[in-house]
Amino acid sequence: MKVLFVTPADSAARQRFMNIPGAEVTFADRNTVSDEEIAQAEVILGNLPVERINQSPSLKWIQLDSAGANLYGSLKEDVILTNASGAYGTAISEHMIGCALMVQKNLARYLEIQKKHDFVNLGSVNTLTASKVLSVGMGDIGSSFARKMNALGAEVYGVRRTVHDKPDYVKELYTTAQIDEILPYCDIVGLSMPETPETVHMFDYERLHKMKPGSILINVGRGSAIVTDDLLKVMKEGYLSGVCLDVTDPEPLPKNHALWNTENVYITPHISGRFNAAVTFDFVMDIFHTNLMHYVNGEPLEHVVNRKLGY
């Protein structure tokens, strides 16, 4: 069985996969891997463009190193698709908390004051213990965010596609159809949704205005969840106290885009996840190894993507 490994891996990670019985593992750079190497692979570990892997006559399974799988909607039906859900919650939820505190405590504004060598008190701030937090999306990332916010003293609510098994760290769960019932009461709203037909443009001008005035919006899921032009209007009105975007629409954001210079909008270049945190890479390698052992032994795979749901 030929396995093509295209996720960047150090020598320690490579050694871990070299002696798996029944698996002939080839390591390649995803940017320079040849069509011949792809064509021969029964298994691909890592992300390659779907148009390239669909040309492979041998491929039976692709294991993504990302949690998002929306770019693989056109993958051949007979190929099993698994993702790395569960690997990113730790790092991304910490990024979300950092964003919330940055806005809530005026830290970015104080940094600008420091550059001017001024000594100015910007006045009162809110606390997490007095905040209502809404996690829109309750997968690994959203659940990690909700759990940590609850531990920090916030009152936490969750939104998911269907309501079931409410965790102890969430006061109440709502479906996506019920989101407007809780949205006006929340001080911090975190979006960690995958891109699906139901989530695209979920936050348009009307819904953004249903948020609590002066609240904070954080998006680490997909940029398409927010209508960018509507967000620009809302922020020019001064309706929200801050918006933190690790994802944008379009992405990458063009250098001349108005969003870059919009007051109280804070943009990071899709870096809350990736492998910027070493622990994330370790989690992904664990998922790869566990699933490859399942595959070799003829066992059911974990993290199989539901093609209809898109995650």
Q: Which of 270, 274, 289, 294 is catalytic?
A: 270
Mean pLDDT of the region 212-229 = 98
The reply to whether 37 and 138 lie within a common domain is no
Check residue 311 and give its pLDDT: 84
- Is the domain of 163 the same as that of 248? yes
In a domain, 37, yes or no: yes
Burial tier of 274 (Cβ tally within 10 Å: 0-12, 13-18, 19+): middle
| Distance separating alpha carbons of residues 126 and 103, to the nearest angstrom | 10
Where residue 309 falls among pLDDT bands split at 50, 70, 90? Answer: confident
At residue 154, does pLDDT exceed 90? yes
Statement to judge: residues 20 and 151 lie in one domain: no
Co-location of 204 and 241 in the same domain: yes
Q: What is the mean pLDDT of residues 42-66?
A: 96
| Region 51-65 average pLDDT | 96
105 in a structural domain: no
Count other C-beta atoms under 10 Å from residue 307's C-beta.
13
Q: Domain count for the chain, please give it.
A: 2
* Tokens linked to 90: 């730790």
Are 57 and 132 members of one domain?
no
303: in domain: no
For the segment 198-217, the average pLDDT, to the nearest whole number, is 98
Instruction: Give the mean pLDDT of 146-150.
Output: 98
Dig out the tokens for 84 from the structure.
């790395």
The yes-or-no verdict on residue 94 having pLDDT over 90 is: yes
Catalytic residue among 95, 160, 222, 303: 222
User: Of 230, 248, 267, which residue constitutes the final position of a domain?
Assistant: 267
Distance from C-alpha of 298 to C-alpha of 184, rounded to nearest angstrom = 49
Domain membership flag for residue 96: no
Give yes or no: 251 in active site: yes
Range of the domain at 182: 126-267
In this structure, the answer to whether residues 168 and 145 fall within a common structural domain is yes
Is 270 marked active-site? yes
Identify whether the C-beta of residue 222 lies closer than 8 Å to the C-beta of residue 194.
yes
Same domain, 74 and 196: no
User: How many C-beta neighbours within 10 Å does residue 131 have?
Assistant: 20
- The band of 224, judged by pLDDT with boundaries at 50, 70 and 90, is very high
C-beta separation of 62 from 41 below 8 A:
no
Task: Report the percent of the chain where pLDDT is more than 90.
Answer: 96
Task: Give the span between the Cα atoms of 1 and 143, in whole angstroms.
Answer: 37
Distance, CA of 134 to CA of 191 (rounded, Å): 9
Residue 107, domain member (yes or no): no
Domain-located, residue 240: yes
Claim to verify: residue 263 and residue 149 sit in the same structural domain: yes
Q: pLDDT tens across 247-272, in order?
A: 999 999 999 999 999 999 999 999 99
Catalytic residue among 37, 251, 274, 289: 251
Residues 253 and 286 placed together within one structural domain of the fold: no
The answer to whether residue 63 sits within a structural domain is yes
Six token digits for residue 43: 């298994």
CA distances 298 to 57, 293, 301, Å, are 21, 9, 9
Q: How far is CA 78 from the centre of its chain?
A: 27
> 263 with 133, same domain?
yes
What is the per-residue pLDDT for 221? 97
The DSSP code for 49 is -
Claim to verify: residue 149 and residue 184 sit in the same structural domain: yes
**97 belongs to a structural domain:** no
| CATH of residue 158 | 3.40.50.720
